[in-house]
Amino acid sequence: MNQEITFIQREKLKQKPNPDSLGFGKYFSDYMFVMDYTVDNGWHEPRIVPHEPFTLDPAAMVFHYGQAIFEGLKAYKTQDGTIQLFRPEKNMKRLNDSCDRLCIPQIDEDFLLKAIKQLILIEKEWVPVGEGTSLYIRPFIFSTEAYLGVRPARQYKLLVILSPSGAYYGNQLSPVNIKVEEQYVRAVVGGVGHVKTAGNYAASLKAQENADANGYAQILWLDAKENKYVEEVGSMNIFFKINGEVVTPKLNGSILPGVTRDSVLQLLNYWKVPVREARISIEEVFAAHERGELEEVFGAGTAAVISPIGELNWNGKTIIINNQQIGQISQRLYDTITGIQLGKIEDPFQWTVKVKEVGTVL
């Protein structure tokens, strides 16, 4: 795809939020990227336009049959003012995997990444500075064709919106408590759990609401067939350190292949820490705790990077992990991944992609 991206400027820029009040997902930048798909023209009319509401026909197929997918990645500002992305090509690829599963036409991954960089360059003042902050990038695609009837739509919209986000943790990591879900399931093998469809998240709300009501931060999902094997947390993949070895559930078709998960696996291999992708039951995890061998549990995902887990509740039993302290591996992974993202330490895997070099003039 070799199309010029048009830019429509807004009359007045928004006031930037106070950097201390950013939180997550509350504020949106001045502009967004938009592109449309029709059968005749393919993906066309790429444009950067003011971030504002738009209209859709009430019969737009997304409202009825749910062809909606998304991605999530972040841009970071380094100390010298460089803006960089972390492994964005993985998100572009996963977006196409999601397209494939929901019969949405493929996008040109290189073109979309170029468009995202162009959008960020325009919005560079929206990339927050400060420990743990970033500009969250949300690409998403949904069907727009006005038609009732279950079949793949013939018209779609792709958008990319930007949201400055604050530090997930304050000054330091803090362990979270997790409820192992016993009644509901997130995804089945053969379903859509391995891709990022909006419906996956709608399906998780009920269980998350119950967990919230009981004081748990997130849910740990088990497999849908036997309700036995560990899958992943609400928005993170999960790792267990048992007797010196790190184990994470093997990708099985119902687990989301996280970019952070892959980075953790690569780092652990690089450090020569024993690590294994395997099917692991929740019973094994609790038994390891009983034997005093469950040394660390942590989640890995773009939002929190590494999230130590201090407590797991399953089947009426609560276990405290590592005395509610941050484990050594969790801390080392967090420091290394965030260090690479912020350009503070060497990037041995060439994971970061620069959006802007110092002194670049637009």
Ligand X SMILES: Cc1ncc(COP(=O)(O)O)c(C=O)c1O
Interface contacts to ligand X, rule CB under 6 A: 72, 232, 235-237, 256, 258-261, 301-302
Token pair recorded at residue 213: 């009501």
Q: Of the two residues 48 and 107, which places its CB atom closer to ligand X in the complex?
A: 107
Token pair recorded at residue 100: 């494939």
CB of 193 to ligand X, least distance (A): 8
Q: Of the two residues 117 and 261, which places its CB atom closer to ligand X in the complex?
A: 261
CB of 76 to ligand X, least distance (A): 14
Q: Of the two residues 302 and 341, which places its CB atom closer to ligand X in the complex?
A: 302
- Cβ neighbours for 162, distance < 8 A, ≥ 6 positions apart: 28, 29, 31, 32, 51, 119, 120, 123, 126, 135, 136, 137, 138
CB of 73 to ligand X, least distance (A): 8
Q: Is 332 exposed, middle or buried (0-12, 13-18, 19+ CB in 10 A)?
A: middle
Q: Of the two residues 51 and 196, which places its CB atom closer to ligand X in the complex?
A: 196
Query: Among all residues, whose Cβ is closest to ligand X?
Result: 258
Q: Of the two residues 166 and 258, which places its CB atom closer to ligand X in the complex?
A: 258
E-only strand ranges, 78-193:
83-86, 134-143, 155-165, 176-180
CB of 233 to ligand X, least distance (A): 7
Token pair recorded at residue 250: 């093997």
Q: Is 124 exposed, middle or buried (0-12, 13-18, 19+ CB in 10 A)?
A: middle
Q: Of the two residues 67 and 260, which places its CB atom closer to ligand X in the complex?
A: 260
CB of 18 to ligand X, least distance (A): 27
CB of 168 to ligand X, least distance (A): 12
Tokens 């995902």 belong to residue: 301
CB of 301 to ligand X, least distance (A): 3
Q: Of the two residues 258 and 308, which places its CB atom closer to ligand X in the complex?
A: 258
CB of 235 to ligand X, least distance (A): 4
In whole angstroms, what is the distance from residue 322 CA to residue 305 CA?
A: 19
- Cβ neighbours for 51, distance < 8 A, ≥ 6 positions apart: 28, 29, 30, 31, 32, 161, 162
- β pairing state of 245-249 and 275-278: parallel
CB count, 10 Å around CB of 110?
11
CB count, 10 Å around CB of 58?
8
Q: Of the two residues 34 and 236, which places its CB atom closer to ligand X in the complex?
A: 236
